A and B are shown apart, each in its own frame.
Chain A
Amino acid sequence: MTRIKPYMRAFDAQHDDAFESFGICDEEGMMWISDDTVIDIRDREYFQRIQETGADFVISDPIISKSNEEPIVIIHHRIFGVEDKTSGYVNAAIRLSKLSELASEVVVEDGQGWLVDGSDHIFTPTQAGYEVTELEAFQTLGAAAVRDQQGYRVEGQNGQEGRLFLAPLKSVPGWQMGIVISEEAMAAPTQKLITSLMGLGGGILLIAVFLVGVIISGIFRPMNRLTALIEQAGAGDLSVRFEEKRRDEIGRLGERFNWLLGQIQDLIGQVKEKEKEKQRAEMTALQAQIQPHFLYNTLDTIQWKALEHGADEAADMIQALSKFFRYSLNQGKEWTSLENEVQQIRNYLFIQKIRYEERLQFEIDCRADMQWEIPKLILQPLVENAIYHGIKPKAKGGSIRIEIYEEARRLEIAICDTGIGMEPMALRKLRESVAGDGESLGVGMKNVQRRLQLVYGKAYGITRILSGSGGTRIELRIPKRGGQG
């Protein structure tokens, strides 16, 4: 023993880093320790266990060193003597602080390792925030059962969630290394990936919006230009044109816009031309009005001269002619009252009566509102036809009867003569001519028909032409409508 002690002390000194002390124990459990103390370990759990199991060595659960109060773990190893019989034991105390250091060096994410012994006691410091030993499952099921549920969910003191992982230490049966990693740390790579995906998605969205904006701007730029041109044209500048040569819808729209502007310009040109013509016509009319005044004055003078010479009939004729001209001109107005129209026809027939004397008789039967406005010179061309084509060729002459009456808010007019009448063929041609289908016959009648239908529509105007050996009857229909000046 005397030889062994220095050797053991030297061995202890060599391994001071990991071992707290070494001891030599006899079969009865009396142990000499390298610090020269002798203790009895018969009642120690590990001593009893090696005796019971017959194992080469056992490792104790953490205990407190009796020599220096330091937490230690004992490796109790059998010494084999002659014929492999146990001649004693070597007892090596490992510093628990060394194991704690080793465990704490194990760092995974935000978790730090710790060790748990075979009695489910954690004998190295656990990481802050998680009291694993207080876990109900840890207490009731034991560390081994918890280990089987790898990634066992635990809740930290601050409410943070964590996952508990346990792994066995193969060299020390029953011992396990544990570590708790917060959910946040475990999810961090996933979160990073998701953040990257979100960033990528946002980027794609931004690029898509940008591209859509560019594409739409490409479409709307010419449209906006076209809109601006339309507004410019609306403001009166018809010289603008959509100049872009495109083959798409906008190009076609631009073409139609240009075509429309061309049409509008043509129409405006036409209107302007007509306006000029109208002005020229008005000028001519104004100039012509000077001549009628001269004509009326001259006719008045002739009338007075005729009266001075006792030619009363000539004077009446001149007066009637003067009135006829005045009415015909009607101060340039297109519309006149029924009263004026009837008076006009009376003047006309009075003049013709003087010419044809007893060969021409006439009668005007008017039973209508005399203030009815109608286009002027409706009756005179028809009466003139009746005289020249009906009465005049007849040797005995004849009579003309004009009937005017109202019916269902319509003015019905009939001009009847007892002249020679018309052959059926001539009558048919006249009807066709008036209807606008045949060759142009009866210019005066056709003119009246055209004027009336322009004003009142196709349903009005000359509605019937009857003729036979007894004479001719022409009927007109005019709707009741206010004058249009």
Chain B
Amino acid sequence: MGSLRNRIVWIVVVALGIILTSFLAVTRQEVNQQNMEMTRNLTEQIIEAKSAQISGWMDQRIAEVQVLTESELLRPWI
């Protein structure tokens, strides 16, 4: 820390460090907040899409059963 050169380098490093740390802290805060909200929305959409897939599978099964109920073969039984 003795020489003038080292003193200037230290001052610049400390000043830049403080500025960058503050910038990163604010960015982190903002990104965390906004990104988490976005991630939540995206996840919600994905899960709705996946549930629609299962729902679709169930619809197919229901349709198969419906087809069975409409079969002519069941008429004599009736």
Chain A interface (Cβ < 8 Å from any Cβ of B):
1, 3-4, 7, 11, 15, 18-19, 22, 24, 56-57, 59, 75, 77-81, 87-88, 90, 92, 94, 99, 102-103, 106, 108-109, 113, 115, 150-151, 163, 165-172, 176-177, 179, 181, 186-187, 189-190, 193-194, 197-198, 201, 204-205, 208-209, 212-213, 216-217, 220
Residue pair B62, A57 in contact (C-beta under 8 Å): yes
Residue pair A167, B47 in contact (C-beta under 8 Å): yes
Residue pair B39, A179 in contact (C-beta under 8 Å): no
Complex contacts, B59 vs chain A, CB 8 Å: 171
Residue pair A108, B57 in contact (C-beta under 8 Å): no
Given contacts A176-B51, A190-B32, 6 further A-B contacts (CB under 8 A): A3-B73, A90-B65, A168-B51, A177-B47, A177-B51, A187-B39
**Which listed residue, A81, A177, A193, A212, touches B35 by the CB 8 Å rule?**
A193
Residue pair A4, B51 in contact (C-beta under 8 Å): no
**Complex interface residues of chain B between 41 and 78 (CB less than 8 A to chain A):** 43-44, 46-48, 50-59, 61-62, 64-66, 68-69, 71, 73-74, 76-78
Residue pair B65, A171 in contact (C-beta under 8 Å): no
How many Å from the CB of A34 to the closest CB on chain B?
11
Residue pair B39, A169 in contact (C-beta under 8 Å): no
Q: Report the interface size for chain B: residues with CB under 8 A from the other chain.
A: 49
Residue pair B13, A88 in contact (C-beta under 8 Å): no
Assembled-state Cα–Cα distance A57/B65 (Å)? 10
Chain B interface (Cβ < 8 Å from any Cβ of A):
3-5, 8-9, 12-13, 16-17, 20-21, 23-24, 27-28, 31-32, 35-36, 39-40, 43-44, 46-48, 50-59, 61-62, 64-66, 68-69, 71, 73-74, 76-78
With A92-B68, A167-B50 already in contact, the answer to whether A24 and B44 are too (CB < 8 A) is no
Residue pair A1, B77 in contact (C-beta under 8 Å): yes
Residue pair B77, A190 in contact (C-beta under 8 Å): no
Complex contacts, A208 vs chain B, CB 8 Å: 12, 16
**Which listed residue, A77, A81, A108, A198, touches B43 by the CB 8 Å rule?**
A108
Assembled-state Cα–Cα distance A59/B59 (Å)? 11
How many Å from the CB of B45 to the closest CB on chain A?
9
Identity of the chain B residue whose Cβ is nearest the Cβ of A181 in the assembled complex: B43
Main secondary structure of the interface of B (DSSP, over half): helix
Complex contacts, B54 vs chain A, CB 8 Å: 99, 102-103, 106, 113, 115, 169, 177
Residue pair A77, B62 in contact (C-beta under 8 Å): yes
Residue pair A163, B51 in contact (C-beta under 8 Å): no
Assembled-state Cα–Cα distance A337/B75 (Å)? 162
Assembled-state Cα–Cα distance A113/B36 (Å)? 21
With A171-B59, A172-B55 already in contact, the answer to whether A108 and B46 are too (CB < 8 A) is yes
27 contacts between A and B (CB under 8 A): A18-B61, A56-B66, A57-B62, A57-B65, A77-B66, A77-B69, A90-B65, A90-B68, A90-B74, A103-B54, A106-B50, A109-B43, A113-B47, A115-B54, A167-B47, A167-B50, A177-B54, A189-B35, A190-B32, A194-B28, A197-B24, A201-B21, A201-B23, A201-B24, A208-B12, A208-B16, A212-B13
Residue pair A79, B9 in contact (C-beta under 8 Å): no
Assembled-state Cα–Cα distance A317/B30 (Å)? 116
Assembled-state Cα–Cα distance A205/B78 (Å)? 85
Assembled-state Cα–Cα distance A113/B4 (Å)? 64
**Which listed residue, A168, A171, A194, A209, touches B12 by the CB 8 Å rule?**
A209
Complex contacts, A11 vs chain B, CB 8 Å: 68
Residue pair B73, A4 in contact (C-beta under 8 Å): yes
Assembled-state Cα–Cα distance A163/B37 (Å)? 12
Residue pair B78, A87 in contact (C-beta under 8 Å): yes
Identity of the chain A residue whose Cβ is nearest the Cβ of B13 in the assembled complex: A209
Identity of the chain A residue whose Cβ is nearest the Cβ of B66 in the assembled complex: A77
Identity of the chain A residue whose Cβ is nearest the Cβ of B74 in the assembled complex: A79
